[in-house]
Amino acid sequence: MKINKEGYKIIIVSGVCLAAVWTLLYYMIEARENIWLLSLITVLLVMFWFFIVSFFREPRRIKIHDADLVFSPCDGRVVVTEVVEDDEYFKGKRLQVSIFMSVTNVHINWFPVGGIVKYFKYHPGRFLLAWHPKSSSENERTTTVVQTANGTEVLFRQIAGFVARRIVSYVKVDEEVHQNDKCGFIKFGSRIDILLPENAELLVEIGDRVVGTLTPIARIGDFGVEDADE
């Protein structure tokens, strides 16, 4: 199992800390007389460390390239599909799809479309629960806009949650990016919003489980070209 580079430091530090806890407990509980208790604690600490390691797992994924489709940028569950008013970039209505990532999901993020990065901004903010409606505008987050070859602009936001406290983005403005390449990482539970042309064809529903790079969430085709020119 490959481990994402964002996890190296946390995995090492957590391993050292858990080893220190085990050593302290070994001397506190008189291990020879309470071998069963020490064994239980050892199992629990090892399981917890492996959970941390598994959080930063980086699975191999097939990279599908289809300019007509928007693929899920992350693993998780669809929690929002609605038309919203975007005040940050588009200054108008867009179809929003939001995907919630639990702590058990893979937390690598991928580009949902390919093209040129037209906009990127980091927003400091709060740490509301990721499924809270205000998390899209009040939580710590990044905003990225990619313009596809046909002129359609797709916006997506990495949003920190109650547990997530670190957003990593590999995005650079004016850079050419490829669909389903890695674009970042969100540590320990979070959410991603994708804003599409209002007339895009939605391919998922609330409650659907999606897999990053593999699940198409919308069909855009030539949709949005008029919006981009306005």
Give the residue numbers annotated as catalytic, written as ranges.
Answer: 190
- Measured between alpha carbons, how far is 85 from 94 in angstroms, rounded to an integer? 6
Among residues 160, 185, 212, which one has the least CA distance to residue 56? 185
In 10 A of CB 221, how many CB atoms? 14
What are the two backbone dihedrals, phi and then psi, of residue 219, each rounded to the nearest 5 degrees? -115, 125
What sign does the CA torsion over 218, 212, 6, 140 have?
positive
What sign does the CA torsion over 124, 160, 138, 213 have?
positive
